[in-house]
Structure 1
Amino acid sequence: MKFISWNVNGLRAVVKKDFAEIFQKLDADFFCIQETKMQEGQLKLDLPGYRQYFNYAERKGYSGTAIFAKDEPLTVSYGIQAPEFDHEGRAITLEYPNFYLVTSYVPNSGAKLKRLDFRMGWDKAFHAYLNQLDSHKPVILCGDLNVAHHEIDLKNPQSNHHNAGFTDEERQSFTKLLDQGFMDTFRHFYPDKEDIYSWWSYRFHSRDRNAGWRIDYFVTSKRLADHISDSKILTDIFGSDHCPVELLTNTL
């Protein structure tokens, strides 16, 4: 099975580029999207063979997630069962017989860390939600998790130490999630791989210089390790300031 996750930084914008061609070429069983930046009715996608699920933010042109799935799920849920965080369209969960698929666009702590407290509150609620799911069946989490876990996961760790996405608080929170029975699938396969990123600022020709961050992930329950064959970062795909990430599994 193939899972794709991509922060498109505006689904309507990327659809005007090469999204249809990329989508068809990747031929994923599950294609997860973050930062759709749209409201219901603003875009109609023709994706034969896929069921479409959207979670919209109350604020227009902001946040938002989507999943396009070949197989019909047992259940679909939106948000993380936390009303104080569920107005921004940041998560969708599809339940299947042997796993849950969760896509999420985790809040950015913002300039001068003005939303760090909100982000830490989100992390606490989100991790509780994931653990609750994991108590029933394994979880596959994907999305823009807005954290570079270790220094190897961004080009300039020293100058970004206290910036959003690389604060001690965010990194420690991600470590805590992994310690609760989850794994970063890319690092599972490539523990020492350097200079592989999934997001580059539009400023300063960052992508041309590969001055990026690895903030897009597939995180799974550790007990799925034997079912996963690879975890990739598709750096050759353009159209957003992020590139897609991919998870390949045996039949689940």
Structure 2
Amino acid sequence: MKIISYNVNGIRSATTKNFIGWLQETNADMVCLQEVKALPSQIPEILGLVEQLGYHHYWFPAEKKGYSGVAILTKIKPNHVEYGCGEEWIDKEGRILRADFDGFSLMSLYMPSGSSGDERQVKKYEFMRFFDTYIDELRKEHPHMIISGDYNICHTAIDIHNPKSNANSSGFLPEEREWMELFLTNGFIDTFRHFNKDPHHYTWWSFRAGSRGKNLGWRIDYHLATQPMLEKLKNVTILADAIHSDHCPVLLELNP
């Protein structure tokens, strides 16, 4: 089984760069999208193409048009889909969508960025505190879970191209990295690092100064799996050649 997480930075923009053709070629079983930046009513042609590829699709957009939003595309129909988390401000921004299947639950997550200023950084910390409690409760009912998405956090120094110069940058702040460490210690597996301990693997690059061509990036997109999923993990690959966005997809393969 192949599961992809991809911050597309606008599904309409990605589609103009042959996202649909790429999706067909990749032939993933499930795809978690972040930052779709569109209401389903705005993209009927895209939805039609997705359906032609055999996907059921579920969308949880932000109330603000052209902003945030998550989706799940899946060739296996879920038993249940949960839209949002019940926290009003988070749900208004379209940041959490979950689909439950036989054997495990899959969440598409788009954590806030704090890079636009102090106010948003405060909201990011608020989200992180809420998410800890929310997931602790959710795991009681869904112990087999994969949380796929854009966490907007680099966990360790090898997850960012220049840790010294970015020591005070949102996404690599000590408080954020500590939160990620505690989240993992509390029962989650960073599936990419489970298979690959090497540096210089990134999932996001700034549009500035040719950063992507120079591989000056950040690894902020993850498939985090609960410990009971360990025996199901087969491989994780960062698909850096996909260029529909300033992010790239991350592919998780599960054993049957």
Asked if Structure 1 and Structure 2 have the same fold, meaning a TM-score greater than 0.5 normalized by the shorter chain, the answer is yes
Unaligned runs of 5+ in 1: none
Unaligned runs of 5+ in 2: none
State the match for 1:129 in structure 2: 134
Distance in 1 (alpha carbons) for counterparts of 2:78 and 2:105: 9
State the match for 2:150 in structure 1: 144
State the match for 2:8 in structure 1: 8
Contact 1:143 1:217 in 2 (8 A): yes
Contact 1:52 1:66 in 2 (8 A): yes
TM-superposed CA distance for 1:117, in Å, is 1.6
Deviations 1:11-45 (A, max 9, x none): 00111111011101110110111001112311022
2:170 maps to which of 154, 164, 167? 164
Deviations 1:88-128 (A, max 9, x none): 00110001121110011100012344312211111121222
Distance in 1 (alpha carbons) for counterparts of 2:34 and 2:244: 14
TM-superposed CA distance for 1:187, in Å, is 0.6
Distance in 2 (alpha carbons) for counterparts of 1:190 and 1:113: 34
* 1:1-252 equivalences in 2 (<5 Å): 1-44=1-44, 45=47, 46-47=49-50, 48=52, 49-136=54-141, 137-191=143-197, 193-251=198-256
Identify if the C-alpha distance between structure 1 residues 150 and 113 changes in structure 2 by more than 3 Å, giving closer, same or farther.
farther
Contact 1:7 1:144 in 2 (8 A): yes
Contact 1:230 1:248 in 2 (8 A): yes
Aligned to 1:85, what secondary structure does the other structure show? helix
Aligned AA (1:97): D
TM-superposed CA distance for 1:82, in Å, is 1.5
Please report the TM-score for the alignment, with normalisation by the length of structure 1. Answer: 0.96
Aligned to 2:129, what secondary structure does the other structure show? helix
RMSD over aligned CA atoms reads: 1.1
Aligned AA (1:107): P
Distance in 2 (alpha carbons) for counterparts of 1:42 and 1:111: 27
Please report the TM-score for the alignment, with normalisation by the length of structure 2. Answer: 0.95
Aligned AA (1:21): G
TM-superposed CA distance for 1:145, in Å, is 0.6
81-90 or 20-29, larger mean C-alpha shift: 81-90
Distance in 1 (alpha carbons) for counterparts of 2:203 and 2:109: 15
Distance in 2 (alpha carbons) for counterparts of 1:209 and 1:52: 35
TM-superposed CA distance for 1:129, in Å, is 2.1
> Greater share of helix residues, 1 or 2?
2
Aligned to 2:40, what secondary structure does the other structure show? coil
Distance in 1 (alpha carbons) for counterparts of 2:99 and 2:58: 9
TM-superposed CA distance for 1:66, in Å, is 0.7
